[in-house]
Amino acid sequence: MVGKGEMGREIEALRENMLFWDKYPCGLPHAEKMKETLHKLRQERYAQYFWPKPIVEFEKWNGKEVLEIGCGIGLDSSMFSECGAEVVCLDLSRKSLQAAKQIVSGDFVCTSACTIEKLLRRKFDLVYTFGVLHHIPEAQEVVDQIYAVLKDGGEVIAMLYNRNSITYWKMILIEGLFKRAFFEGKTVEELLRYAERGASEHLKPYVTCYSVRKLRKLFSKFRNLRIEIHALSPFDVPFLKMPDNLARFLESKVGWFLVLKGYK
């Protein structure tokens, strides 16, 4: 049961998230040539990240019902729809959904992830959520709702930020210690809220990070859980020039993204 203090924190986080993502939709291009630009952004996304396609297996969802929670500007949802999935795109940001409609064939719902069980009366073969749950204080409630809206045997794929990553510890060391944020009274939770591009003192989304153990606990209702670690950029280790195989190994240990798959 959620206490009054926790409920207040959840409502405040929802309000700040709505304001932030409407002001800074993920990579939202200008209106001119939007469709063309969105396709270019999608191409760049899969050039930068080698692992989503083999993990998500977009072609596998042909003819299946897919819900993306936090679809942003629709880059991943468009892959699902082009591969023949029946897609429902859910996001807090109306601006993001307006962009997503340019490249996604599906249904669009502007709401919080905390309402999906009540709002969506259908069941899904896949619930996909990339970089969303770490912005929700009561993530367990959302995960429980994901479980509820999945068909028996349905699959969840989720990405959350990794606490045991170079990105996290760089933030703690550089911002917290070297730039003296801790000495000015800022907490780790406050520092994490600057992790998103565009975050400022006046407008910043709620952010938290998860360990593998904590993530397994969050999704404990699901079976056959598999967690991979990804996303290590040259900016994380700028002083090192290493072979690709070594870089991939390091990424699998201290990358910024925890990518989870599980089944109902």
Give the tens place of pLDDT for each residue, 174-221.
777 777 777 788 888 888 877 777 666 777 788 999 999 999 999 999
Confidence of residue 4 (pLDDT cuts 50, 70, 90): very low
We report the CATH number of the domain holding residue 235 as 3.40.50.150
Is residue 59 in some structural domain? yes
Is residue 83 in some structural domain? yes
pLDDT above 70 as % of the chain: 84
Distance separating alpha carbons of residues 262 and 83, to the nearest angstrom: 21
Residue 155: is its pLDDT beyond 60?
yes
Confidence of residue 12 (pLDDT cuts 50, 70, 90): low
> Between residues 214 and 5, which one has the greater pLDDT?
214
> Between residues 234 and 219, which one has the greater pLDDT?
219
As for how many domains the chain has, the answer is 1
4-13, 93-102, 166-175, 229-238: range with lowest mean pLDDT: 4-13
pTM: 0.86
Distance separating alpha carbons of residues 198 and 196, to the nearest angstrom: 6
* pLDDT at 233 (0 to 100): 75
Residue 16: is its pLDDT beyond 60?
yes
Residue 210's Cα: distance from chain center in Å?
A: 12
Is residue 175 in some structural domain? no
* pLDDT at 235 (0 to 100): 67
Is residue 179 in some structural domain? no
Percent helix, strand, coil in the chain, to 5, is 45, 20, 35
Work out the average pLDDT over 97-122: 92
* pLDDT at 1 (0 to 100): 45
Is residue 180 in some structural domain? no
Tokens (6 digits) for 80: 């699902």
Residue 260: is its pLDDT beyond 50?
yes
* pLDDT at 248 (0 to 100): 86
Confidence of residue 23 (pLDDT cuts 50, 70, 90): low
Highest mean pLDDT range out of 32-36, 145-149, 190-194?
A: 145-149
Is residue 39 in some structural domain? yes
Work out the average pLDDT over 159-182: 86
In this predicted model, what pLDDT tens digit does every residue of 44-82 receive, in sequence order? 999 888 889 999 999 999 999 999 999 999 999 999 999
Q: Domain range for residue 234? A: 4-164+206-263
- From residue 218, alpha-carbon distances to 53, 68, 110, 158, 160 in Å are 24, 19, 25, 11, 11
Distance separating alpha carbons of residues 45 and 101, to the nearest angstrom: 18
**Identity of the residue numbered 89:** C
3-state SS assignment for residue 66? strand
Is residue 192 in some structural domain? no
Cβ–Cβ under 8 Å, residues 88 and 120: yes
